Amino acid sequence: MSYAYDDQNIFAKILRGEIPNTTVIETEHSLAFHDITPQAPTHVLVIPKGAYVSFDHFASEAGEAEIIDYVRTIGQVAQMCGVDLGEGGGFRLISNAGRDGVQEVPHLHVHVLGGRGLGRMLQ
Ligand code: 5GP
């Protein structure tokens, strides 16, 4: 399986510092920043620093250190934003991929949404 990564996508430009972002947390392998069009009081995007298009690309090619860092960063974002189950009312993770997933930006990202009742998505 080969994945084509477009290094002109918006999140690649954010990682290179060509476009500003409002950072929530930056780690060795990951960056989390506020979505420019928030759909909830907490709406943070978490991206790996590596050039991965989607979750399947990341899962098949990323190293263990990147994967551990990414998963931990997503959890830390929930905690830092006060939506984690220790302190807050909960959250939802979404990662759109490809055409059918209606992915707008072709660099892997997980949306962390919370701060309000999000309703049921799956029936
Ligand atoms: P997707 O539909 O690919 O899952 O989501 C892409 C997300 O990126 C959208 O929620 C959109 O609002 C966000 N986005 C697009 N351009 C920018 C940008 O330049 N900066 C930030 N912070 N978010 C962006």
CATH code at position 102 = 3.30.428.10
Residue 5 lies in a domain: no
29 inside domain: yes
pLDDT of 121 strictly over 90: no
- Residues 56-91: tens digit of each pLDDT: 999 999 999 999 999 999 999 999 999 999 989 999
Let me know if residue 53 belongs to a domain. Answer: yes
With respect to residue 48, please indicate whether it lies within any of the assigned structural domains: yes
Q: Is 2 a member of any domain? A: no
Query: What's the angle, vertex CA 50, arms to CA 44 and CA 53, rounded to 5?
Result: 75
Closest atom of ligand 1 to 33 CA is 22
Domain limits at 50?
A: 10-114
Residue 58 domain-assigned (yes or no): yes
Contact 93, 74 (CB under 8 A): yes
Tell me how far the alpha carbon of residue 26 lies from the centroid of ligand 1, in angstroms. 18
Domain presence at residue 54:
yes
43 CA: nearest ligand 1 atom: 10
Does residue 77 lie in a domain region? yes
Pocket residues: Cβ below 6 A from ligand 1:
10, 19, 21, 33-37, 45, 96, 103-105
Amino acid 17: pLDDT: 98
For residue range 104-119, what is the model confidence (pLDDT) as tens digits?
999 999 999 999 999 9
3-state secondary structure of 13: helix
Number of domains, the chain: 1
pLDDT in tens, 24-39: 999 999 999 999 999 9
Does pTM top 0.90 for this prediction? yes
Question: Length of the chain, please?
Answer: 123
DSSP strand pairing (42-48 vs 30-34): antiparallel
43 is catalytic: no
Supply the ipTM of this predicted assembly. 0.99
